[in-house]
Amino acid sequence: MIMKNGALALIVAKAGPLRDSLQVFLMTLPQVETVKLVDDTPSALRMITERNPALVLLDATLSGDGTLTALRWIKAKSSQSRVLVLADDIQQQQDATAAGADAVFVIGFPVASLLETIERLLSEQGVE
């Protein structure tokens, strides 16, 4: 049995095809050992506090301003975690960038760009 010695990634998104696809995608990366899933801001903040993930993928369509609240909290409390936000539109992209996201993609992005960005973010964490 081959054991990975990689990073923890956290996906903060409502259950559905996007979250499922992101989970499968992240698990194919050799740098990622574990992918945890949560679907609300309070659960995300608890998981970040307890586990300090290397990478957090936030869906900008969380209810209310949950995405920006979580993003600001992560950047204030868990500066080690890299945060990638998936936005529905340019306004969400601008808001996430202003709140401190390490990377923001508007839905419809090329998968190759997502892969390159995730690998860069993980390498900044020292995860190879």
pLDDT reported for residue 3:
42
Residue 107: per-residue pLDDT: 87
User: Mapping DSSP to helix (H, G, I), strand (E, B) and coil, where does residue 122 land?
Assistant: helix
Q: Which residues contact 21 (CB under 8 A, 6 or more apart)?
A: none
What confidence tens digit (pLDDT) does each residue in 4-17 have? 568 999 999 999 99
Q: pLDDT per residue over 16-58, tens digit each?
A: 998 999 999 999 999 999 999 999 888 988 999 899 899 999 9
Residue 114 β-bridge partners: none
CATH class name, domain 7-124: alpha beta
Confidence (pTM):
0.89
**Distances in Å between the alpha carbon of 45 and those of 6, 25, 64, 116?**
21, 23, 16, 26
Domain ranges for the chain, please list them. 7-124
Query: Taken in order 83, 85, 90, 96, is the CA torsion positive or negative?
Result: negative
Tell me the per-residue pLDDT of 90-119, one tens digit each, with 9 for 90 and over: 999 999 999 999 999 998 888 899 999 999
**Distance from C-alpha of 39 to C-alpha of 92, rounded to nearest angstrom:** 18
pLDDT of residue 63: 67
